[in-house]
Amino acid sequence: MKHAELFQRSGAAAWGTCAFSDLPLSAPQRQRAQELCPDARGVFVAAYPYSAGDGAGNLSRYARGEDYHLVLLRRLGEVCQGLRELYPAHRFVPGADNSPLDERACARLAGVGLQGRNGLVIVEPYGSWVFLGTILTDLPLPSAPEPSPDCINCGACVRACPGGALDKLPFDEERCLSALTQKKGELSPEQEALLRAHPLIWGCDLCQQVCPYNRDALPSPLADLTGQGSVPYLSTLTEEDLEGLSNRSFRAKYGNRAFAWRGPGVLRRNLKLRRE
């Protein structure tokens, strides 16, 4: 079975490869990668669409289906199994936000989609509504002849960001609403004001909603990411949903959701700010 067939069967909308030596990694990141995969030589990177459409709710689209970490590791695990059959002497280590690799840098070097001004990767026909996953390997792999080009830089995402997080590059995480909804600890008065006016209690889709590349984006066909699988679609959380939950019971109830890793505290805070 060829590489393309393995990724197609896993549900990937696009995939590519890059040379490990081409990645801009710090010394600790490079060391960690070598611990995961000794003599790392290459990276497979794949994009998986997740949007189920623009429905009402107070959770970002990416957090409404099953936790994408679980989904991507499961799907990439199937790819790794096929790759091990093709190359039994080599190692293949899947990753989804849990490795030292920068998935967006991998995608750029692999030529997977356009690079958006907001830092997201754009893959037709799904726009920027995609998750990126990687497979680190000691199999030598090449980068694309040319890295992915940038988007048209129309500025729509910059203008749509209430906190001005995209005014300069790299983006300012302290002004990004997606980051602020997940931030623990004390918030500044300005940050609290941003969250009070924000329609979501987890994540932010504003820069994607105004992106021209997303205007005619198709919904994802992947059942586990769109609530058609064993984990039902969840677009809204209320204070009643979280009432009386300890950290343990919260994770028992929502542990298969992308918002569960932070615990119930930030969600309760964000809900409280919304009604103040």
pLDDT digits (tens, 9 = 90+) for 105-122: 999 999 999 999 999 999
Which residue in this structure is represented by tokens 């919260």? Answer: 250
Does a structural domain hold residue 273? no
Nearest CA to 239 out of 273, 209, 199 is that of: 273
Token pair for 188: 């500044």
Containing structural domain, residue 68: 1-235
In a domain, 271, yes or no: no
Residue 274 belongs to some domain of the structure: no
List all residues 6 or more positions away from 106 whose beta carbon is below 8 Å from its beta carbon. Answer: 18, 23, 43, 45, 132, 134
Domain annotation covers residue 275: no
List own/partner pairs for 163-170 with CB under 8 A and 24 or more apart: 163/194, 166/117, 166/118, 166/207, 170/119
Residue 167 annotated to the active site: no
Please indicate, yes or no, if residue 131 is contained in any of the structural domains: yes
193-251 residue pLDDT tens: 999 999 999 999 999 999 999 999 999 999 999 999 889 999 999 999 999 999 999 99
On average, the pLDDT of the chain sits at: 95
Determine, yes or no, domain membership for 102.
Answer: yes
pLDDT value at 98 more than 90: no
Tell me if 3 is assigned to some domain.
Answer: yes
- Whether the CB-CB separation of 162 and 39 falls below 8 Å is answered with no
pLDDT of residue 67: 97
The count of structural domains within the chain is 1
Whether residue 176 is contained in a domain is answered as yes
pTM of the model: 0.95
List the catalytic residue out of 22, 54, 97, 102.
97
